[in-house]
Amino acid sequence: MWCCFNDSLTKQAKAKVLSYCNNYKINNNGVYKIVAPLLYKTIMRLATLDSNAMDHQLWANLRKLTSYAIQENGNIDKIHTHFDHNFTQLKATTSTSLSLMPILQSQMQNSTLT
């Protein structure tokens, strides 16, 4: 069963999971064996950490929309694409309600002040 889990991982994911091998390998009379449920638990824990980090990064990108607009010299197409890309990914990954209004209002206020 653990082979199925392992085969489904990318090379990067395998390397990351391998660094936590103490969490899913047991010593059985000097022979280390992989315990599939523990391997699965490790994979899911790492996936959750990656997902949380991505959510934080996407929110940070949306909060920095004014800075991005300045960086792109007000190019509305690039700004819209940047916003849409981050917002779409956030909708796909988050389980909480998306409250963008406070972020957008603060970005509008910041842009009118500068």
For residue 85, what are the contacts with CB-CB under 8 A and spacing of at least 6?
A: none
The domain limits of the chain are 2-113
Of the candidates 112, 82, 87, 81, which has an alpha carbon nearest to the alpha carbon of residue 101? 87
On whether the CB atoms of residues 17 and 7 are closer than 8 A, the answer is no
71/68 Cα distance (integer angstroms) = 5
| pLDDT, the chain, mean | 80
> What is the model's pLDDT at position 71?
92
Q: Which two tokens stand for residue 75?
A: 């190019």
> What is the model's pLDDT at position 7?
78
**For the segment 74-90, what is each residue's pLDDT rounded down to a tens digit?**
898 998 899 888 888 88
Give this prediction's pTM: 0.48
Asked if residue 36 has pLDDT above 60, the reply is yes
